[in-house]
Structure 1
Amino acid sequence: MSDKFLDKAYGLETPEATLDHYNQWAASYDAEIADNGYATPGRIAAALAEVQSDMSEPVLDFGCGTGLSGLALRRQGFQTIDGMEPSGEMLEQARAKGAYRHLTQIEVTETQPIAKGAYRLITGCGVLGTGAAPPAVFDMIMHALPQSGLFVFSYNDHALEDPAYTGKLNEWLDCSAARLLSREHGDHLPGIDLKSTVYVIEKS
């Protein structure tokens, strides 16, 4: 099974290639990234819990994958979690974990899969970055949030080196369309010596 999937994950260049890769990876995904110490889901859930006291408010786990981020949110005490994900195979793995209220399969070509104002709390764990969702998805999520909505997400080291991703965040912050509540660089996949920064931003 092994390292082939993780090794290739950061070189995917099209949404279609990404979808195919994750569909094929779904059955062995949890085991492979557990072997590499996947830390970001827990870090994102903890960061959201720092700024959100009402654990009953629904959270959208965008790009939920096999549901590891949903489990992490549950462990932090969040009670109502919905997931969206383009990979049907990954969604089957997520469904089996029982962490979600609703799971929705979305099309990679869909420009606005999140209804505007439907969620005040959105997480994106390892979703935005090279080999994953393009920078435009950042705008889509921010436009879907209501005023004072929170987006808690990660950029791994590959995304942090790409000005298309860091620039997208700065576009929102620099014009005060959003404000940065916290930022922490730490472990992502220690097994391959990859770190990530977890951000909490609030829409102005």
Structure 2
Amino acid sequence: MSSEQTSITEQAAAALDLVYSAKTPEELAAGYAKWAATYDGETAALGYCLPFQITAWVTRYVPAGEGPLLDAGCGTGLSGPALKALGYGDIAGLDLSADMLAIAGSRGAYGELKQAELGSQLPWPDGYFRAFFSTGVFTIGHAPAAGLHELARITEKGGHAIFTVRDQVLEAGGFHAVFAELERRGKWRPVEESDWFRAYAVAEPEAQVKAFVFEIM
């Protein structure tokens, strides 16, 4: 690895530490505001693959032309162009960071972008989306498991919830409890749970995630 590549990966690691250590939504937003301009290049240097891998689950459960879709926690919008290239043209995005949303908007793949915090009330009516997808959001120091209630609310019956969860928060963050609660209340049913896989193809081999798919009831 060249010294330039080493510098980029070190910068990315430092930025990850900053956002993972955020204690409040304000701290998290500030961390991403600081990182926004260099986020794409630095995460690419780490081999960050989740924004592209999530498209496989979306295409498995949502036929092209069925929408709208919500990219929940879209960041700089890396997933949007990949889905647009696959024929998905009706995509909305939400994110906590206005700076990240500005970059997402420049990609030309999102018809609507809104600044919102996962875990609070979201600015769409019941059953608005055909599906939501989210990756790299339910992780250390980020969105709470409770945010799934609102995401399920704004997804139509028969639609799908498609998202990843980081290993370190799956149990500690109460995700299984929220999964069970939504199932018990008849809000969704489980469809698919992947094996653990790496979030970064190059660095951070210990960073493992699972993908989950639920059908909204």
Are residue 136 (structure 1) and residue 146 (structure 2) matched? yes
Are residue 186 (structure 1) and residue 197 (structure 2) matched? yes
Kindly state the Cα deviation for residue 176 of structure 1 after the two structures are TM-superposed. Answer: 4.6
Are residue 62 (structure 1) and residue 75 (structure 2) matched? no
> What's the TM-score once normalised by structure 2's chain length?
0.85
How large is the RMSD of aligned CA atoms in angstroms? 2.0
Q: 1:93 aligned to 92, 103, 110, which one?
A: 103
Q: Which whole-Å CA distance do the structure 1 matches of 2:86 and 2:138 have between them?
A: 23
Any conservation in 1 of the 2:152–2:187 contact (CA below 8 Å)?
Answer: no
Structural mapping, 1:100-119, within 5 Å = 100-106=110-116, 110-119=120-129
Are residue 79 (structure 1) and residue 81 (structure 2) matched? no
Bigger shift: residues 31-40 or 112-121: 112-121
Q: Which whole-Å CA distance do the structure 1 matches of 2:200 and 2:179 have between them?
A: 23
Give the aligned length: 204
Any conservation in 2 of the 1:124–1:153 contact (CA below 8 Å)?
Answer: yes
User: Residue type of the partner of 2:161?
Assistant: F
Kindly state the Cα deviation for residue 107 of structure 1 after the two structures are TM-superposed. Answer: 5.3
Hey, what does 1:173 align to over in structure 2? 183
Hey, what does 2:4 align to over in structure 1? none
> What's the TM-score once normalised by structure 1's chain length?
0.90
Kindly state the Cα deviation for residue 94 of structure 1 after the two structures are TM-superposed. Answer: 0.6
Which of 1 and 2 has higher RCO (CA within 8 Å, sep 6+)?
1
Structure 1: where are the runs of 5+ without partners? Answer: none
When Rg is computed on C-alpha atoms for both structures, the one with the higher figure is 2
Q: Deviations over 1:37-60 (max 9, x none)?
A: 112122211111111224342211
Report % sequence identity. Answer: 31
Structure 2: where are the runs of 5+ without partners? Answer: 1-7
Q: Deviations over 1:74-111 (max 9, x none)?
A: 24331211111121100111111111111122257842
* CA 1:174–1:36: 2 relative to 1, 3 Å: farther
Hey, what does 1:43 align to over in structure 2? 53
Q: 2:214 aligned to 181, 201, 204, which one?
A: 201
Kindly state the Cα deviation for residue 175 of structure 1 after the two structures are TM-superposed. Answer: 5.1
* CA 1:183–1:55: 2 relative to 1, 3 Å: farther
Bigger shift: residues 182-191 or 101-110: 101-110
